[in-house]
């Protein structure tokens, strides 16, 4: 299974890149993790949030693989436990699905991305920096895979 993260934003601080790379490196070969950065829309004077979200949504949907199961990260999304998240990952594996996790930009995700998603996933109800969400998501994907494989990384 290939796991893909589409994230609006680029030029992350070194500690974000290092944190993401640490968990991406740990992933087993049969569950590779790929990060695709989507260029954020420039914030120009007079540009509305809705317009910025729409332009970023176009870029996100253009980068989305044809057979992907879109998972939009949203603070109002379902917040599963680690075990539940691992079970969802197992279902996708059994179905041959290719989950693609989408992290929006500073203004969030346009409704067109959320409406097209198979799942709205919440990492936290707290407002988090989007770069940090990359690291948290990569760690949770790694944790879910290790849980499925019976690896001792996850403890309850």
Q: Please state the domain extents for the chain.
A: 2-148
Q: Which residues pair with 109 in a beta bridge?
A: none
pLDDT of 10 higher than 90: no
3-class SS at 9?
Answer: coil
* Contact status, residue 139 vs residue 23, Cβ threshold 8 Å: yes
pTM of this prediction exceeds 0.85 = yes
Instruction: Choose between 106 and 43: higher pLDDT.
Output: 106
| pLDDT at res. 155 | 62
- In tens, the pLDDT along 29-73 reads 988 999 999 999 888 777 788 999 999 999 999 999 988 999 999
Look at residues 41, 40, 45, 35 and name the one whose alpha carbon lies nearest to residue 9: 40
User: How large a percentage of the chain has pLDDT more than 70?
Assistant: 97
DSSP per position, 20-88:
HHHHHHHS-GGGEEEEEEEPPPP--TT--HHHHHHHHHHHHHHHS-TTEEEEEEEEEEE---HHHHHHH
| pLDDT at res. 127 | 85
* Residue 84: count of CB within 10 angstroms of its CB: 12
State the pLDDT confidence band at 154, using cuts at 50, 70 and 90. low
Question: Which of 20-24, 85-89, 126-130, 131-135 bottoms out in mean pLDDT, i.e. has the lowest?
Answer: 126-130
3-class SS at 6?
Answer: strand
Tell me which long-range contacts 150-154 makes (C-beta under 8 A, separation of at least 24): 154/82, 154/86
CA dist 40 and 105 (Å) reads 7
* Residue 143: count of CB within 10 angstroms of its CB: 19
Query: For 2-148, CATH number?
Result: 3.40.1280.10
Tokens 């990569």 found at? 138
How much is the mean pLDDT over the chain?
92
């Amino acid at each position: 299974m290939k796991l893909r993260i589409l994230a609006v934003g680029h030029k992350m601080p070194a500690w974000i890149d290092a944190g993401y790379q640490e968990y991406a490196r740990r992933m087993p070969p049969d569950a590779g993790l790929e990060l695709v950065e989507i260029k954020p829309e420039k914030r120009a004077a007079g540009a509305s949030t809705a317009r910025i979200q729409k332009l970023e949504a176009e870029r996100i949907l253009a980068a989305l693989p044809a057979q992907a199961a879109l998972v939009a990260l949203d603070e109002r999304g379902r917040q599963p436990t680690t075990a539940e998240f691992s079970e969802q990952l197992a279902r996708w594996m059994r179905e041959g699905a290719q989950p693609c996790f989408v992290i929006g930009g500073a203004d969030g995700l346009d409704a067109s991305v959320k409406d097209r998603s198979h799942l709205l996933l919440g990492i936290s109800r707290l407002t988090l920096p989007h770069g940090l969400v990359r690291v948290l998501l990569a760690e949770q994907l790694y944790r879910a895979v290790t849980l499925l494989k019976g690896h001792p990384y996850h403890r309850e």
